[in-house]
Structure 1
Amino acid sequence: MFSTSHTPVSTVRPVAPWIGGKRNLARRLCALIEATPHDLYAEPFVGMGGVFFRRRRRPKCEMINDYSGEVANLFRCMRAHAGPLTELTAWTFSSRDEFDRLRRVDPTTLTDLQRAARFIFLQRLAFGGKVRGQSFGVRTDGPARYRSSQVSEDLLAAARRLEAVTIENLDWSAFVARYDRPGALFYMDPPYFACEGDYGDGLFNRDQFGAMAEQLAGLKGRFILSLNDRPEVREIFAAFDIEEVSTHYGLAGRGSQVAREVIITGR
């Protein structure tokens, strides 16, 4: 048996936008997560933590993961070196020239903290929260997209929230295999079908959806999976419960393009 007693936690703003973030569905997903008994929570595709940081209760164990080295490095720096990272971001401001300069920098030539600060700056200013093919985004209806005081506040809040969280940098399948056990709940937010390359080369490909369905069918724990509603997705995950949900796509949740997604669950 496993415990269903969870500790209340404060919600935190993700430190940067992220393409495919769950801003519009986060409340619904968090409610479903909270209603599912578990004593270990794990996210194989954490991204910027659009769901993780918006949850209001935590079990005794939490694990997050992303195969992107940039994401894993950022989360580790936020947790372990929030003060120095905040200092690095304190005097940065919205600048197209600086955005273009940092895009050209090879992140492997930087220290971990410099690399994390660069990543935050680019993601905060990238149009649409894109990871690939980034272009400088400008707001014409409000303050600049990068405000150092807001970045500092978000970083320090994230550091407190991540204090007891295990952070991994594994392939999703290896991460699931490592932490699967009775009482585990995985929230899966992979790249959308037909958008597999949006987060970088070699991180995820279309063949992995079939492998995912096969691995999830043998879980000891439970899972919640969110994807775009495509016939191929429904076919691949037909063995599980599939709920259709309506949302919309657009910048900062303001777009007008109606879209359908699915929440897939297995118990």
Structure 2
Amino acid sequence: MTKLTPPHKIKAKLTAAKTRLNGVFVENEPWERYFKRYDREHTFFYADPPYWQTAGYARSFDWMQYELLAKAMAEGKVILSINDHPDIRELFKDFRTTRLELIYSVSRDKTQKTSSKLVICNR
């Protein structure tokens, strides 16, 4: 059974979200256009593309997109989080890579699962 937020707490949560997001712009466009528009000396990008060869994403992200991302990482300040896959390791081999082992559980299921993720930095 899902617990509902009491009505008197909803206003406080919405106010906190409004304060936190003040000045934030949400855009919906291809990532490479976004990178070109906002890349400056002081800009830092966090990239979290769809995981390579993993189903369930609403939009396609083919191999060429990963290649373009690697090229963009050579030019700007970017940190990338992605699944640990041999193809990904090969493509991003010139960047600093850290492998993380994550332990997580889904919803109320207490069964813990492990997953590995790569964090790839270009600087």
Count of residues in Structure 1 that have an aligned counterpart in Structure 2: 121
| Whole-angstrom distance in 1 between the partners of 2:107 and 2:47 | 22
**1:230 maps to 2:85:** yes
Higher helix share: 1
AA aligned to 1:154 is: K
Structure 1, 230-239 or 251-260: larger mean CA deviation: 251-260
The normalised TM-score by structure 2 is 0.82
Residue pair 1:248, 1:255 contacting (<8 A) in 2 also = no
Which of 26, 31, 45 is matched with 1:186 structurally? 45
**1:214 maps to 2:63:** no
Please list, as runs of the form range in 1=range in 2, the aligned pairs for 1:148-187 lying within 5 A after superposition. Answer: 149=7, 152-187=11-46
AA aligned to 1:211 is: L
Q: CA deviation at 1:146?
A: 4.9
The SS at the match of 1:167 is coil
The SS at the match of 1:186 is strand
The SS at the match of 1:224 is strand
Higher strand share: 2
Residue pair 1:242, 1:262 contacting (<8 A) in 2 also = yes
Q: CA deviation at 1:188?
A: 1.0
Q: List per-residue Cα deviations over 1:37-70 (Å, max 9, x = no partner).
A: xxxxxxxxxxxxxxxxxxxxxxxxxxxxxxxxxx
The SS at the match of 2:23 is coil
Q: Paired residue for 1:266?
A: 122
Change (3 A) 1:153 1:215: same
The SS at the match of 1:239 is coil
Q: Paired residue for 2:62?
A: 205
Q: CA RMSD for the aligned pairs?
A: 2.3
What's the % identity of the aligned pairs? 31
Q: List per-residue Cα deviations over 1:110-134 (Å, max 9, x = no partner).
A: xxxxxxxxxxxxxxxxxxxxxxxxx
Q: List per-residue Cα deviations over 1:201-224 (Å, max 9, x = no partner).
A: 34x3343111111121122xx111
Which of 103, 106, 121 is matched with 1:248 structurally? 103
The normalised TM-score by structure 1 is 0.41
Q: CA deviation at 1:194?
A: 1.7
| Whole-angstrom distance in 2 between the partners of 1:212 and 1:179 | 15
Q: CA deviation at 1:162?
A: 1.0
| Whole-angstrom distance in 2 between the partners of 1:191 and 1:255 | 25
| Whole-angstrom distance in 1 between the partners of 2:11 and 2:33 | 33
Residue pair 1:245, 1:261 contacting (<8 A) in 2 also = yes
The SS at the match of 1:214 is helix
Please list, as runs of the form range in 1=range in 2, the aligned pairs for 1:13-162 lying within 5 A after superposition. Answer: 139=1, 144=2, 146-147=4-5, 149=7, 152-162=11-21
| Whole-angstrom distance in 1 between the partners of 2:103 and 2:49 | 18
Unaligned runs of 5+ in 1: 1-138
